[in-house]
Amino acid sequence: MTFADKTTVSTEKSRAEIERTLQKYGADQFMYGWDTDKALVGFRMKGKQIKFLLPMPDKNDKKFTKTSTGKARAETAAFKEWEQACRQKWRAMSLVIKAKLEACEAGIAVFENEFMANIVLPDGSTVSNFMLPQIEEAYSKGSMPNMLPDLR
């Protein structure tokens, strides 16, 4: 079972809830956008740009276009199933952002630590994009990279 898999809250209401939550906790910028396979939520808080990419379900996925018995769904039924999956994704995104901000507010977490993976770097990538390959390399080699090139 997935969080909010039966939600009736529209994606628009979830996005608006995210925006209100961010305002409540002190964000001074907010944006969102979407493409066929992902949505983006971005905001600025505490002088840091934060970016979340939300993978969106594929309308052509068999879980939407076919019934559990493999029979083709009507186009309207397939759209309804896909739309439900989108609502679930946006509810989960709202929960994640709200939980992270509340943890910071309650002193359980530090903002920069809680959002570190999503901090936008000067080239537009995120800390996660920058660090994950280095982490993988460190694990595969079993050692840390040198702090400065050619210094051992």
Structure confidence at residue 1 (pLDDT): 67
Closest C-alpha among 93, 100, 124, 91 to residue 46: 100
Closest C-alpha among 73, 52, 75, 76 to residue 63: 73
* Residue 111 phi, psi dihedral angles, 5° rounding: -50, -55
**CA separation for the pair 98, 92 (Å, rounded):** 10
Residues 96-106 have pLDDT tens digits of 999 999 999 99
Residues 112-130 have pLDDT tens digits of 999 999 999 999 999 999 9
Residue in this structure with the two tokens 């994704």, named with its chain if needed: 89
Structure confidence at residue 2 (pLDDT): 81
Non-local CB neighbours of 95 within 8 Å, separated by 6+ positions: 3, 4
Beta bridge partners, 66, equal: 72
- The model carries a pTM of 0.87
In the predicted structure, residue 151 carries a pLDDT above the cut 60:
no
Domain segments of the chain: what residues? Answer: 11-141
